[in-house]
Structure 1
Amino acid sequence: MTLGQHESGARHVTEDSGTVTARLQSADGWPLANGILTITDTGGAQRARVQADQQGMVTAPGLPAGTYTVITTTIGYQPLARTAVVHRGRTAELGDLTLDRVGGDELPTAGLWTIDPVHSSILATAQHLGISSIHGRFNEFSGEIRVADQVESSGVDVRIEAASVDTANSMRDSHLRNQDFLDVERHPTISYRSTALSRRDRDRWDLDGDLTLCGVTRPVRLDVRFTGVGPDPWGGTRASATATTQLRREDFAMTFNQALSTGIAAIGTTLRVEIDIQAVRQD
């Protein structure tokens, strides 16, 4: 039996041995449960083989001091290799190990893709009292993505119902809908229409566009990460992506605030926007 095999339960930890720990995750931060971490010594002999738990955590104790090659594998992802130096009585922490999907460079095919609001989300976070955050979401939105043969020529068009803002507090939501903030009676729709798309690296893109919010239109860049494309259980094809940006409230005429006795504003001047999108290919 190989030293360190997780399944055996026979690994013996002493002051003369060390431990390797890591967390396996996908590019979008999800834990890779049941991924495998294999550890080999400088002679190529396997010294441990450990399966990740539901949080993607792996721990390989009982390793003699030395230098090891750590290889992480899981179905559907590219293997990843790292070097770990183990010292007696200490833990070598490899931190988060991010694995890329197999075929991660595959992009959606040219054509019309519609956003599925049931499996998508648009979230906004504002700082409150300078010490915490308030999180909100928009529950009603729609949009189309037109993927071009030359992907940089693709376009995105999204519409959000401003009155669908939801922070899980009805009194606060009513205030957000009035003229102090979203002014939904005068400006019922928030819209975003892209103007340019450029690739930053393997799976990240800069999406530039015009955001219209509270009747004000300004250019906004989204930091987009493409996360995959594939079949769904209903016979269709889906693509997914995440995007983030930060907005200044005053840029969109949302200047309402309250000053505390300490001089700190009750509501932060910026909004962090996080978007998670699934889009379905239209034949």
Structure 2
Amino acid sequence: MTDVTTTTALSELAAGTYVIDPSHSEVGFVARHAMVTKVRGYFREIDGAITIGDDIAASSAKATMKVDSVDTGAADRDGHLKSADFFDAENHPEITFVSTGVSNVSGNEFDLTGDLTILGVTKPVTLKGEFDGTAQDPFGNVRAGFTASTVVEREDWGLTWNAALETGGVLVSKKITLNLEISAIKQG
């Protein structure tokens, strides 16, 4: 096992490719339900990599989420999300994100802009990100941690299903918060 120094500053993060560890990462979303509560969901099957450049601004990321892995803790709701009313898993089995730029790097915080594709519709999004540090795990892997979030309008991707409430408002909010907690393993 090599001796690896824990890194806590983004400016000190070693250049290279870091592969997302799906068993220690989370890609989730939060939607307001019935105008009064929040429902959280996750994509349990994710794949991707982060490439750190010699200059942080030259870094990139890509990720794929399997729609069939959506999990909100309620089987009926998960089935509805997989249906043609929402993600249409049969015809659009994956959601993808491919970065197009890193900007506003300040300390451990940064903006990650990229193309998010849902239902075959690609739109730009900007994630507010933060580098959480690195550590060597007991198996000798160097892990880097990142968190990121953004708010999107789901209808921009054709996710328009909804139901009106008798008391006013709708069943599912138009604004959705996307949250990422990523653990990635350095390659080579």
TM (norm. structure 2) is 0.93
Which residue of structure 1 aligns with residue 145 of structure 2? 240
Distance 1:177 1:103, change over 3 A: closer
Distance 1:103 1:181 in 2: 39
- Contact 2:8-2:132 at 8 Å conserved across structures: no
Q: Which residue is equivalent to 2:3?
A: none
Counterpart-to-counterpart distance in 2, 1:164 and 1:102: 32
Check if 1:219 corresponds to 2:127.
no
Q: Report Cα offsets for 1:98-133 as digits up to 9, x if no partner.
A: xxx985355321111100011110111100111101
Q: Does 1:142 align with 2:47?
A: yes
Q: Which residue of 2 aligns with 1:173?
A: 78
Higher Cα Rg, which structure: 1
Partners of 1:200 and 1:154 in 2: how far apart?
11
Once the two structures are superposed, residues 72-101 of structure 1 have per-residue CA deviations (whole angstroms, 9 ceiling, x without a partner) of: xxxxxxxxxxxxxxxxxxxxxxxxxxxxx9
1:184 to 89, 102, 127: 89
Q: Give the AA of the match of 1:104.
A: A
Asked whether 1:133 is paired with 2:38, we answer: yes
* Aligned positions, number: 183
Residues 198-222 of structure 1: per-residue CA shift (max 9 Å, x gap)? 1342111000000001110000000
Alpha-carbon offset, residue 249 of structure 1: 1.1
How far does the alpha carbon of each residue in 1:3-61 deviate from its partner, in whole angstroms, 9 at most, with x for none?
xxxxxxxxxxxxxxxxxxxxxxxxxxxxxxxxxxxxxxxxxxxxxxxxxxxxxxxxxxx
The whole-number CA distance in structure 2 between the counterparts of 1:236 and 1:106 is: 20
Partners of 2:104 and 2:155 lie apart in 1 by 30
RCO greater where, 1 or 2, for CA within 8 Å and sep 6 or more?
2
Alignment of 1:124 with 2:59, yes or no, is: no
Rounded to whole Å, the distance in 1 between the matches of 2:149 and 2:170 is 24
Report SS of the residue matched to 2:12: coil
TM-score after normalising by structure 1: 0.63
Residues 28-107 of structure 1: matches in 2 within 5 Å? 103-107=8-12
* Structure 1, unpaired ranges of 5+: 1-100
Post-superposition CA distance 1:216-250 (Å, at most 9, x none): 00000000011101211111111101000111110
- The 8 Å contact of residues 106 and 229 in structure 1, kept in 2 or not, is answered as no
Please give the alpha-carbon distance, in whole angstroms, between the structure 1 residues aligned to 2:75 and 2:52. 39
Aligned residue identity for 1:247: V
- Which of 180, 183, 186 aligns to 1:275? It is 180
**Distance in 1 separating the partners of 2:100 and 2:52:** 13
Query: Is the Cα contact below 8 Å between 2:7 and 2:134 reproduced in 1?
Result: no
The two structures, once aligned, show a CA RMSD in angstroms of 1.4
Contact 1:107 / 1:229 at 8 angstroms: preserved in 2? no
Is the CA contact 2:145–2:182 (under 8 Å) kept in the aligned structure 1? yes
Query: What amino acid does structure 1 have at the position aligned with 2:34?
Result: L
Change (3 A) 1:137 1:167: same
* 1:186–1:103 Cα change, 3 Å: closer
Counterpart-to-counterpart distance in 2, 1:110 and 1:199: 19
Q: Which whole-Å CA distance do the structure 1 matches of 2:33 and 2:90 have between them?
A: 26
Instruction: Decide whether aligned partners of structure 1 residues 263 and 188 sit closer, same or farther in structure 2, where only a CA change above 3 A counts.
Output: same
> Distance in 2 between the 1:105 and 1:161 partners?
29
